[in-house]
Amino acid sequence: MTDEMMRLGREKRFLVLLGLICLALIGGALYMQVVLGELPCPLCILQRYALLFIALFAFIGASMRTTRSLTVLEVLVWLSAVGGIIAAGRHVYIQANPAVSCGIDVLQPIVDGLPLASIFPLGFQVEGFCETPYPPVLGLSLAQWALVAFVLTVLLVPVGIYRNRRKSR
């Protein structure tokens, strides 16, 4: 096995791990919703979509055979994480300023009109309000944890690409 193949294999394993982490985060959110009764707001659902897209693009990217196609999927992972930062950042802001609303009247029909809301309503339909304070997990709100995860993804995916490909040029 060549050195380049080993580096790309490491990059693909990272994508698989990232996809599994994103699916675990969605599973954790569903657990908190169903078992703990923490109802998702529109921004929560948008964060779930971002996590789902990251996982989907990461798994597809890990199956790519060429560097170019792998890079395209990694860019899609990165863009999905940027979208997640926007949703989670807004959510963190709203929770820090409870007088501000997430605009449930405006966002709810849009988010509930997305395809997965009708296919899997338990996981992708709006039921709560963004400003609802739920107990923190290890000192951070779910929105803060999501923001950390999205920021790490935005930072680590390009670092991984650079690290794994700089020697092949």
pLDDT tens sequence across 127-158: 777 777 788 888 888 889 899 999 999 998 88
Residue 24 vs residues 18, 28, 54, 79: alpha-carbon distances, Å = 10, 6, 12, 20
What are the φ/ψ torsions at residue 64 (nearest 5 degrees)?
-75, 145
Alpha carbons within 13 A on the beta-carbon side of 106:
5
Q: What is the pTM of this model?
A: 0.86
- Which residues neighbour 56 within 8 Å (Cβ) at sequence distance 6 or greater? 19
For the stretch 66-101, pLDDT in tens is 888 888 999 999 999 999 999 999 989 988 887 776
Q: What percentage of the chain carries pLDDT values higher than 70?
A: 88
Q: Cβ(50)–Cβ(83) under 8 Å?
A: yes
- Which residues neighbour 8 within 8 Å (Cβ) at sequence distance 6 or greater? 67, 70, 164
- The Cα 73–Cα 31 span in angstroms is 29
Question: Which CATH number is 3-168 given?
Answer: 1.20.1550.10
Least confident of 27-31, 40-44, 88-92, 94-98: 94-98
Domain ranges of the chain: 3-168
